[in-house]
Amino acid sequence: MKKSKQSVLVSKLFLLTTAWVLWSCEGPIGPEGPPGQDGLDGVNIVGEVFEIVGDFTQSGNFGLRGEYGFDILESDKVLIYRLGGVDQEGNDIWRLIPQIVFHENGIFTYDYDFTFYDYSIFLTGDFDLNTLEPAFRNEQVFRVLIVPADRIDLRLDFSDHQAVLKLLGIAEEDITRFRL
Domain assignment of residue 162, given as a range: 48-179
CA distance 148 to 48: 9
* Per-residue model confidence (pLDDT) at position 154: 66
* Per-residue model confidence (pLDDT) at position 43: 47
Task: Render pLDDT for 5-39 as a digit per residue (tens, 0 to 9).
Answer: 677 676 777 776 776 666 666 666 666 766 555 54
Coil, helix or strand at residue 10? helix
CA distance 140 to 101: 14
* Per-residue model confidence (pLDDT) at position 60: 93
* Per-residue model confidence (pLDDT) at position 11: 73
User: Is 30 inside any structural domain?
Assistant: no
User: Is 19 inside any structural domain?
Assistant: no
User: Is 100 inside any structural domain?
Assistant: yes
CATH of the domain at 72: 2.60.40
- How many C-alpha atoms does 37 have within 13 Å on its Cβ side? 7
CA distance 180 to 176: 13
What is the domain count for the chain? 1
Q: Any residues with CB less than 8 A from the CB of 125 and at least 6 apart, and which?
A: 103, 105, 106, 107, 108, 109, 132
Task: Render pLDDT for 80-118 as a digit per residue (tens, 0 to 9).
Answer: 999 999 999 989 999 999 999 999 999 999 999 999 889
User: Is 5 inside any structural domain?
Assistant: no
- Evaluate if residue 45 carries a pLDDT over 60: no
Give, in order, the Cα–Cα distances in Å from 169 to each of 88, 110, 138.
Answer: 26, 27, 31
User: Is 162 inside any structural domain?
Assistant: yes
User: Is 1 inside any structural domain?
Assistant: no
